[in-house]
Structure 1
Amino acid sequence: MPLRAAEGPTGEILIPMDERRARAAGIDVTRVQAEAGTAQTMLPGTVAVPPQQLRIVAAPAAGLVETVLVAPNEPVKAGEALARLRSTDLLEAQRTYLQALSAEELAKQRLARDEQMYRERIIAERRLLTTRADHEFARTNLQEREQMLALLGMAEPDIQAVRKTRRMAAALTVTAPEDGVVLETRTSAGERVAASAPLFSIARLKPLWVNLQVPLPQAMAIEPGTRMSIPGTAAQGEVIRLGRSVDPATQSVTAVVEVADGAETLRPGQVVTAAVALRPNGTPQWSVPAGAVVRHAGRSWVFVKSADGFRAKPVTVISESPSASSIRAGLTLDDQVATRGILTLLAELTEVYGG
């Protein structure tokens, strides 16, 4: 009875097999070829705006868009006008503001009168304290109404103009919150919008992110700090984060690359192919025929010939082509790996790790 495969202390799976059984299974072997400790792999990716650099400009109040003053892809400065909005909510907020302003002024006059009467000992202190409290309440209410106007998008000079002239403005100006580029305009002149409806998206386009789709077998070879460039452009950067979750459809993880140098040559939403330079990590790098690497139990393996059969050895795939694969593993120049007839070895591996 042949011996069964078993896991060794280094994570290798020992698969006992004599020469006759190996020949019957049609197993061929080839010697591994040493490679330099660096490699480059090409990975697909998509250009994106870092979320902290993207701002959505929403309608501060419900109303009618009177005019749109910017177009997509137009650079804007902080405070620059984006649109004009005519709003009944704005009129109502100004009305309550003016009422609060009148109430505060009246409370202030009463306080001044009562303070004078208290100094002349005409009224009691209790009445003065009540008048002071009334004035403080009126002042706080006025501040609240002023803040409401600011939240509705009225600039401080416009609020002061309303205060001085006692005349209400029927429209307000929607402005850019910071410097950037208008990525999207979500409204048009003549459209009625609800409060908080998104009107524009504005982004700072430097730096940008490139979200790379890394096949799971290669994910172990990429780490924060790994350099990336995009052929044909000046864009280059480094990996800042490697995702922990796997896309079930593509069996890949996302590596986020921050691109500062050459970011102006990229566009959000652009699909790119990036060259990722994989640095040596102390593990030798080898070239083996493409058919020598198998996938099982979420890992990549090669079957290394030994005196007693084969050792199923976990490896890290650096890059792959139709004819060869670059791997990192603790091998030697004398090691030979199975390239054909691997189904029998894979079945033995499955016995240990399950299907």
Structure 2
Amino acid sequence: MTVTHSQHPRPWIPGSNPKRIPSGLPGGQGCRWSLAAIFCAVISATACDGTPQEVSGGKTRTSDPPTNLLRLTPETEAKAALRIAPATTGDFRIFREFPATIQADANRLAEITTLVRGRADEVLVDFGQDVEAGALLATLQSGELGLSQAGFLRAHAKLTVAERAFQRAKALLEEKVIGQAEYQRREGELLTARSEMREAHDRLRLLGMAEPEIARLRRDETIRSTVFIRAPFAGRIIARNIVRGEVVEMTDQLFTIADLSDVWVIAHIPEKDIAFVQADQKVEVEVTAYPGESFEGRIGYISDVLDPATRTIRLRVVVANPHKRLRPEMFAKVRLWTKPEPGVLTIPATAVVHDRGENIVFVQVEDHAFERRPVALGEETNGQVKVLAGLRAGDPVVVDGAFRLKSELAARQHPMAIQ
């Protein structure tokens, strides 16, 4: 549009200071403009250029907020080495881990002592040795056992005499040679002898003599003051506290035998985690000696009483140990799983990045285009995290390379901050 100016001068406005506008400004050579006209021209020029600010309603409005959509060239995407996988639904379980120690099964553990004082004559086993039930572990020489055997032989002889006397008295009573009183006296002596014989026999059994040895003593009438220490069941020698020539007392613990085909794993569960303990749940045990390997166990006992000092309950897990790899006093870790929760949406934990106080993922919306999407997350287990909101099953999520996408999007949204 062409502007035509009048040849007559503009009327004078009080307070104004008209000046001649140089020929380079609108209006041509010699045209005189007021300050108000100049201000309007400046505003019009500003509105027409490419600056990002506008005047609307008396307020300055910045450009539109940065988009959450990130587009990449094929070359950039290939360089980022992205890996994409869909969000999936399925059974979801979480677990808790608790420190524990391995112990021998107390029902298959024997601490062997002697029932008579004596001197160690022979020690036939050593640490770590496997023994069968009834195997001879050591022998002792005991004067007390010799005295007990002599008492047994006296009781046996007295019983023999009493039996013969009773049989004679019985025959004489039938012949009416003796009276009833004499017969009853002989019968009483027989009953007393039998009682003393049983007492002597039981004492030898308490001192460790087996029935074959007692039968030999009755037959040969030869006193042998040797005490035989035998294994009560098959197992492994895990402790030995006796040496040859040592005098041992009845209170001394000579050997400890353990059947390690099963072991106990003892853990102490804090009060806040008691809900994770259930009688029929799966239990995994890991030990420091075998990293990356787990052993399956079953719960054998859950304490009914809370320890008031530690605020924990005692948990006992029974683990099969056929190859004897698990040994008492090893440090272990017990893993308790919850029951499966069906239909839970999960994604790999590597897909989640943190940005401005939010958990976000990147979802592929089309080829070479990815959307930044905030998500609400739940528990995490075995590298999978539960998604509460923000995704649907099947959404293609960037599981490797999400951090690079976050950095690229931030650089495009805030280039000056990145510089």
Normalised by the length of structure 1, the TM-score is 0.66
CA offsets 1:188-233 (integer angstroms, 9 cap, x no match) = 2111111243211112112211112323322212211222223444
The more displaced of 194-203 and 54-63 is 194-203
The reply on whether 1:117 has 2:177 as its aligned counterpart is no
1:238 aligned partner: 298
Alpha-carbon deviation of 1:69?
0.8
Alpha-carbon deviation of 1:266?
0.8
SS in 2 for 1:198: coil
Q: Check conservation: 2:136, 2:229, Cα contact below 8 A.
A: yes
**Which amino acid counterpart does residue 329 of structure 2 have in structure 1?**
G
1:178 aligned partner: 233
The reply on whether 1:92 has 2:151 as its aligned counterpart is no
Q: Identical aligned pairs, as a percentage?
A: 24
The separation in 2 between residues aligned to 1:318 and 1:127, in whole angstroms, is 93
SS in 1 for 2:276: coil
CA offsets 1:152-190 (integer angstroms, 9 cap, x no match) = 011222212221222210212111111111111122211
Q: Check conservation: 1:225, 1:240, Cα contact below 8 A.
A: no
SS in 2 for 1:189: coil
Q: Check conservation: 2:285, 2:297, Cα contact below 8 A.
A: no
1:223 aligned partner: 278
1:346 aligned partner: none
CA offsets 1:50-79 (integer angstroms, 9 cap, x no match) = 221111211120111111111122111111
* Correspondent of 2:320 among 253, 256, 260: 260
* Correspondent of 1:272 among 315, 332, 342: 332
**Which amino acid counterpart does residue 312 of structure 2 have in structure 1?**
S
Normalised by the length of structure 2, the TM-score is 0.57
2:221 aligned partner: 166
The more displaced of 224-233 and 113-122 is 224-233
The reply on whether 1:187 has 2:242 as its aligned counterpart is yes
The separation in 1 between residues aligned to 2:151 and 2:293, in whole angstroms, is 57
* Correspondent of 1:54 among 109, 113, 125: 109
The separation in 2 between residues aligned to 1:251 and 1:276, in whole angstroms, is 19
When residues 261 and 86 of structure 1 are mapped into structure 2, their CA distance, relative to the original with a 3 A threshold, is closer
When residues 58 and 75 of structure 1 are mapped into structure 2, their CA distance, relative to the original with a 3 A threshold, is same
The separation in 2 between residues aligned to 1:238 and 1:85, in whole angstroms, is 42
The separation in 2 between residues aligned to 1:194 and 1:261, in whole angstroms, is 35
1:25 aligned partner: none
Alpha-carbon deviation of 1:129?
1.8
1:292 aligned partner: none
Q: Check conservation: 1:218, 1:319, Cα contact below 8 A.
A: no
When residues 257 and 214 of structure 1 are mapped into structure 2, their CA distance, relative to the original with a 3 A threshold, is same
The separation in 2 between residues aligned to 1:74 and 1:318, in whole angstroms, is 48
Q: Check conservation: 2:94, 2:381, Cα contact below 8 A.
A: no
The reply on whether 1:208 has 2:263 as its aligned counterpart is yes
Matches within 5 A, 1:1-355: 37-231=92-286, 232-233=292-293, 235-247=295-307, 251-260=311-320, 264-280=324-340
Gaps of 5+ in 1: 1-33, 287-316, 335-355
Q: Check conservation: 2:128, 2:236, Cα contact below 8 A.
A: yes
When residues 261 and 233 of structure 1 are mapped into structure 2, their CA distance, relative to the original with a 3 A threshold, is farther
SS in 2 for 1:167: coil
SS in 2 for 1:174: strand
Q: Check conservation: 2:96, 2:276, Cα contact below 8 A.
A: no
Q: Check conservation: 2:101, 2:329, Cα contact below 8 A.
A: yes
Alpha-carbon deviation of 1:149?
0.5
The separation in 2 between residues aligned to 1:104 and 1:277, in whole angstroms, is 68
Gaps of 5+ in 2: 1-88, 287-291, 347-377, 391-419
CA offsets 1:234-285 (integer angstroms, 9 cap, x no match) = 6211223323444566543322111126673211111112333222479x99
When residues 180 and 118 of structure 1 are mapped into structure 2, their CA distance, relative to the original with a 3 A threshold, is same
The separation in 2 between residues aligned to 1:319 and 1:106, in whole angstroms, is 85
Q: Check conservation: 2:122, 2:140, Cα contact below 8 A.
A: yes
Q: CA RMSD in A?
A: 3.3
Aligned pair count reads 267
The separation in 2 between residues aligned to 1:149 and 1:47, in whole angstroms, is 38
SS in 1 for 2:222: coil
